Structure 1
Amino acid sequence: MPKNILFQLDVDPHPSSFDAVVAVDAGVDHLLQYGSVQADSVEPLVHGAMFTRGGDDLKNTALFVGGNDVVKAEAIFRSVQKAFFGPVRVSVMLDASGCNTTAAAAVASASKHITLDGCTAVVLGGTGPVGRRVAQMLARQNANVFLTSRSLNRAETACKEIGEQVRTGNLEAAAPENEDSKKTLLEKADVIIACGAAGVELVSKERMLDLPKLRVAIDLNAVPPAGLGGIEAFDKAKRLHDDREDSAVAYGPIGVGGLKMRTHKAAVAKLFTSNSLVLDADEIYDLTMEQMNR
């Protein structure tokens, strides 16, 4: 039986130790790590992974694309797939900086408390790599999504690009110019997911407690202060109003972290079930739902 070999292709000089540990815990037999990988020079690495095995043994080799620069990782991910020769290929997964697994865990967690189909969701910091994927996954579930940014142009560009991939739901760009316009936007929300820059409070605790429609609030910022005031890192389905059973529930970054980790491990393990898998946002979301419902 051939050993399972994972090629870790990372854009950073030192490949992620986090991703390496998860790969080992997921059952990878041999982990081959490559740092400072460039999209225009990744083809020899891909061909080395493909052409050393054949037939059913191809499924025992897989590629993982990661690193802190998600844009560069996405370019590598595309170049990897261009290097394949029809059925002569291996499975590949993209999760640079946890962009896919984190977003999927957040959206899946929200789905436990509200039907996403037809709900109104506000994605704060929606033009970043995680925010874009959160918005994409929500739209795929037919939610009405407000994707926010400090720049309306960036928000509109993100909505346009996501809309080219997802035909369901409704995507609308927003860049609130003041507290009144932000308040008006947030009061529409059934779900708020904050994906903004680390250490920046996007909504105060007082404002969070005063949102009439809100059912789920998720903050993915692990660096104090919280992006959503009043939410702690370990919160997991905790009521925003302790004394109200109908209060919105809150998740912090570690609160969704358990599901994210289960998904990450399951996705790596799944790579070795076929030689033709491409695990990106949609595929990883579906896998997250499977993990959550077990």
Structure 2
Amino acid sequence: MLWFECGLICFCLHQRSNNLPQKQDWLRSLSIQDELLTNYSSFPDSLDSININVGTVSLIVNLFFLNLKVNLFLGGAFSWFLYSPLLVDCDSIVLFLALNFGGFHAAVSGYSCTAFCVNFSFLFAFYSITSGLRYHMISQKLSKLSQTITSYKTINIIVNQLLTLLIENHRANIYWTQINSTIFLFTFIAQIPILYLIFFIQLTSFTKFSLIILGGLNFLCGQSITFLSAYYTRNRLNRCQKQLNRLLIVRNDIDFIRKIQLTNVAEYLIDRQLFFIYGGFEFNQINYLTVILEIISNLLLLIANVGIR
């Protein structure tokens, strides 16, 4: 029920974005990632330095979207598969049909949750990692600028690329913040009954094994994928900030007006909240460890409650 409600809310948020232009930038920015990564004219040196070519990127993108399609099938099939032990032991046609109806309902729910929760976590991770790669490319360019004398026009182009990417991420966050908050909240709550059932309820081996798989997927898709991918992007942004500050310190030939402009850009990057939920809970390493500790605390509370009873 928690997962189904999560999928339903995410579906409603997605439908609302169809009527709100400010919440549609996530799709526009996601749809041009392949073009940006394969455009050698924009990032020629950086792409070669991290060994990315058109064929590699095309293969990665195709495999990623194949993964999304496979997830949809597995979500429904696995939900139906949970009813198989009951169907094997069923000795009544009426009960058999009723269980099949329940299995069909579970399959539809599994498909819906996969479509609007699991796959959207993967989409967010894809967007985060590709944004991180673009930050990595820009930081490499800034690093080269601090070592070789180049024209002010080149500096302005690279800095504008950085600001454009930041603005794009900020606009995409208007949509992703709500989706990620919903997925994180419901999967975090769902982790509590899963832990209780696994550790404190006598279950068949098949059911316990299924719950362990569901608990692992719940933690992976609800918390881990989004946190780790966004943490990578935040790291790349920090490197861009450091390289820009280094450029300001090392390049003495930059005139005063240009230095003021670059200093304003560098200050704009300080404490920039990138990929966050609940308006301030940022995806970083410390907060990810906090989530893990919260789950461990919930397990300890369950142990204490069972001990009291």
Would you say same fold, with TM above 0.5?
Answer: no
Structure whose alpha-carbon radius of gyration is higher:
2
TM-score, normalization by structure 1: 0.25
Say which structure, 1 or 2, has more relative contact order (CA 8 Å, 6+ apart): 2
TM-score, normalization by structure 2: 0.24
User: Comparing both structures, which one devotes a greater share of its residues to strand?
Assistant: 1
User: Comparing both structures, which one devotes a greater share of its residues to helix?
Assistant: 2
